Homo-oligomer: A and B are copies of this chain.
Amino acid sequence: MRSHYCGSLTALQVDTEVTLCGWVNRRRDLGGLIFLDLRDREGLVQVVCDPDEKALFELAYTLRNEFCIQVKGKVRARPASQVNADMATGEVEVYARELVILSKAAPVPLDSNQNNSEEQRLKYRYLDLRRPVMTERLKFRAKVTSFVRNFMDSHGFLDVETPMLTRATPEGARDYLVPSRTHKGKFFALPQSPQLFKQLLMMSGLDRYYQIVKCFRDEDLRADRQPEFTQIDIETSFMTADQVMAVTEQMIRELFQQQLQVDLGDFPRMTYADAMRLYGSDKPDLRNPMQLVDVADLLKEVEFKVFSGPANDAKGRVVALKVPGKAEAISRKDIDGYTEFVGIYGARGLAWMKVKAVGQGIEGVQSPVAKFLSDDIVNDILSRTEAAAGDILFFGADRYSVVCEAMGALRLKLGEQHGLTEQGWKPLWVVDFPMFEQGDDGQLMAIHHPFTSPVNPDPAALQQAPEQALSNAYDMVLNGTELGGGSVRIHDPVMQATVFRLLGISDDEAAEKFGFLLEALKYGTPPHAGLAFGLDRLVMLMTGASSIRDVMAFPKTTTAACPLTDAPGLANQAQLAELMIELKKE
């Protein structure tokens, strides 16, 4: 039905007879002629309808936006004066000889100026996706998956499908449940990840596995979360953490090179401890040059309890964050805003200090807290933060986690608002995570997941000092977003049982939930390791989209609904009766 894509025509096709199919993007009646911008997946081209072709011209006159039509005609060069440099096909136009309306269109319910609510865009997603920016994102996503698959194939990784109807997985988020009809009263769970299956594939001797696979989490949605999302899931036997990092880093580097002509270079590595110390985050955005500077040791003796309290508390932290040269730009009102902002993260206030001159103690600064400090202390703070006249410092003093979160977030906000965050791409690996974190009740919780191996493979050593243990895990971070994470897995049944016990999982519970894994570990499990990337986030970053919803064809709303199909919907009673379930009244 078509010889060329609209968007593919160039001067090379001049004088060629072409057949195009596409949508009327715009119709203009000008100088007795009708001009159509005809659009398909590859772009737009101008079609000219001449009144000399009477029937065609009359039909063209009935065309409205989004009519789907077929046009036959000859490509001709536009006169120099009419060349449109903004259009890929701007040097040519198609002189129409035949026109067929394939399908009419009612006036579209979306505003062409894009003043559409998210709800409207999703309800008429098929119209929203016709926008070139959206089409390009889906095309780009397809290129990314194609690249990843070819890379993985060529490195000996096998694409293997794992089940969607499975057992509840232990990732911690809520599972989506699927009632079984043949096993009444029982439920499948949709996988939060194929973690256990990919480990079982390594035990099966498959050696290297990958899959681009849907995963599910029934979470309370935030802006950047979806109930179903897609992972690039990777697992390999007989590779060290370094080797897994090397091959996956190479993949991402080549992907950026090929698709964006960007050289990411070698990814630096940073320990979790350094990331938290310098950036208050385990996914630091290195485009932002500001760092947190610890100053607790300088403030242990001050009378000001807001500082000295956390400074003397092993679980507290006190940091300064210097915004270079912005003392003037940042007003009292701005500071009030930042104070409110850090409050979101639990900080109870935000001390600040504008620097007028250095080495002059209290006299050299303007700060509501200066009066609580000595000249020496002020000088020491300015010296340690390498502050200069015109800078402003913010202080965070609280529990360790509150300071990290609040000041880490403030750092990002200040960087963006004041143009301190560079353009470009800053990847890194974060490594040497602790195995566990401690809940308020003292119970250890896994930082990654309970199948992550400690760096030291001795179960007795782990048992002895679990809080000190580092895990053999690694996260790839790009521009402050976690692109992916993984670890060396436990392949020793004794180590696995030890970790379950440290996590407060009783032997009975372990047997009930993970008995098959513990059993499988008995039969010659190879050392194995892996990693999973969030495909949606990767594509979002690469396309510059502001939400993962914009790189999915049919995403859900933030209440996990689909305005297009109106899912979820009511089930009929017969179905529920077959499943032996009943709806509870509120």
Which 4 pairs show the lowest CB-CB distances between chains A and B? Answer: A105-B524, A129-B204, A186-B568, A68-B524
Q: Which residue of B lies closest to A145 (CB)?
A: B159
Task: Say yes or no: B103 contacts A526, CB within 8 Å.
Answer: yes
Task: Say yes or no: B560 contacts A523, CB within 8 Å.
Answer: no
Q: Which of B1, B161, B527, B556 contacts A103 (CB 8 A)?
A: B527
A170 CB, nearest partner CB in chain B, Å: 12
Among A66, A166, A566, the one with the most B-chain Cβ atoms within 10 Å of its Cβ is: A166
Complexed CA–CA distance, A150 and B142 (Å): 12
Query: Which among A54-62, A237-245, A346-354 touches the partner chain?
Result: A237-245
Residue A233 at the chain B interface, CB threshold 8 Å: no
Query: Which among A271-279, A369-377, A573-581 touches the partner chain?
Result: A573-581
Task: Say yes or no: B165 contacts A142, CB within 8 Å.
Answer: no
Q: Which residue of B lies closest to A70 (CB)?
A: B238
Q: Which residue of B lies closest to A571 (CB)?
A: B187
Complexed CA–CA distance, A554 and B553 (Å): 29
Residue A264 at the chain B interface, CB threshold 8 Å: no
Q: Which residue of B lies closest to A578 (CB)?
A: B174
Residue A85 at the chain B interface, CB threshold 8 Å: no
Task: Say yes or no: B586 contacts A583, CB within 8 Å.
Answer: no
Residue A139 at the chain B interface, CB threshold 8 Å: yes
A194 CB, nearest partner CB in chain B, Å: 10
A28 CB, nearest partner CB in chain B, Å: 18
Given contacts A188-B568, A554-B163, contact A579 B239 (CB under 8 A): no
Complexed CA–CA distance, A185 and B586 (Å): 10
A67: chain B residues at CB < 8 Å are 524
Task: Say yes or no: A165 contacts B523, CB within 8 Å.
Answer: no
Residue A138 at the chain B interface, CB threshold 8 Å: yes
Contact with B along A119-161 (1 / 0, CB 8 A): 0000001110110000100110110011001100100001111
Q: Which residue of B lies closest to A144 (CB)?
A: B159
Q: Which of B40, B153, B178, B584 contacts A207 (CB 8 A)?
A: B40
Contact with B along A549-580 (1 / 0, CB 8 A): 00011101001111011111111000101111
A and B contact pairs by CB, cutoff 8 A, 10 listed: A1-B240, A2-B238, A23-B524, A41-B208, A141-B160, A161-B214, A167-B565, A183-B560, A187-B571, A188-B567
A439 CB, nearest partner CB in chain B, Å: 19
Residue A102 at the chain B interface, CB threshold 8 Å: yes
Task: Say yes or no: A160 contacts B553, CB within 8 Å.
Answer: yes
Task: Say yes or no: A103 contacts B580, CB within 8 Å.
Answer: no
Given contacts A1-B527, A524-B23, A526-B102, contact A568 B187 (CB under 8 A): yes
A277 CB, nearest partner CB in chain B, Å: 34
A522: chain B residues at CB < 8 Å are 105-106
Number of copies: 2
Q: Which of B66, B149, B560, B566 contacts A516 (CB 8 A)?
A: B566
Complexed CA–CA distance, A181 and B176 (Å): 9
Task: Say yes or no: B161 contacts A190, CB within 8 Å.
Answer: no
Complexed CA–CA distance, A515 and B526 (Å): 53
Residue A162 at the chain B interface, CB threshold 8 Å: yes
Task: Say yes or no: A168 contacts B569, CB within 8 Å.
Answer: yes
Q: Which of B103, B182, B515, B578 contacts A525 (CB 8 A)?
A: B103
A167 CB, nearest partner CB in chain B, Å: 4
Complexed CA–CA distance, A291 and B222 (Å): 63
Task: Say yes or no: A161 contacts B553, CB within 8 Å.
Answer: yes
Residue A334 at the chain B interface, CB threshold 8 Å: no
Residue A177 at the chain B interface, CB threshold 8 Å: yes
Complexed CA–CA distance, A582 and B197 (Å): 30
Given contacts A187-B571, A188-B568, A525-B68, contact A126 B178 (CB under 8 A): no
Contact with B along A183-204 (1 / 0, CB 8 A): 1111111100000110011011
A582: chain B residues at CB < 8 Å are 581-584
A103-B527, A178-B190, A182-B559 provided; 9 other pairs, C-beta below 8 A? A21-B526, A40-B205, A105-B523, A106-B523, A126-B523, A167-B565, A174-B181, A185-B583, A580-B584
A304 CB, nearest partner CB in chain B, Å: 46
Given contacts A142-B158, A520-B126, A581-B584, contact A164 B190 (CB under 8 A): yes
Complexed CA–CA distance, A577 and B585 (Å): 11
A158: chain B residues at CB < 8 Å are 138-139, 142
Q: Which residue of B lies closest to A67 (CB)?
A: B524
Residue A285 at the chain B interface, CB threshold 8 Å: no
Given contacts A153-B146, A553-B197, A565-B166, contact A127 B523 (CB under 8 A): yes
A23 CB, nearest partner CB in chain B, Å: 6
Task: Say yes or no: B556 contacts A165, CB within 8 Å.
Answer: yes
A186: chain B residues at CB < 8 Å are 568-571
Complexed CA–CA distance, A244 and B461 (Å): 63
A479 CB, nearest partner CB in chain B, Å: 24
Residue A30 at the chain B interface, CB threshold 8 Å: no
Complexed CA–CA distance, A159 and B141 (Å): 8
Among A39, A159, A561, A582, the one with the most B-chain Cβ atoms within 10 Å of its Cβ is: A159
Given contacts A164-B228, A583-B581, contact A239 B1 (CB under 8 A): yes
A579: chain B residues at CB < 8 Å are 177
Task: Say yes or no: A230 contacts B103, CB within 8 Å.
Answer: no
Residue A108 at the chain B interface, CB threshold 8 Å: yes
Task: Say yes or no: A562 contacts B167, CB within 8 Å.
Answer: yes
A182 CB, nearest partner CB in chain B, Å: 5
Among A104, A207, A218, A569, the one with the most B-chain Cβ atoms within 10 Å of its Cβ is: A569
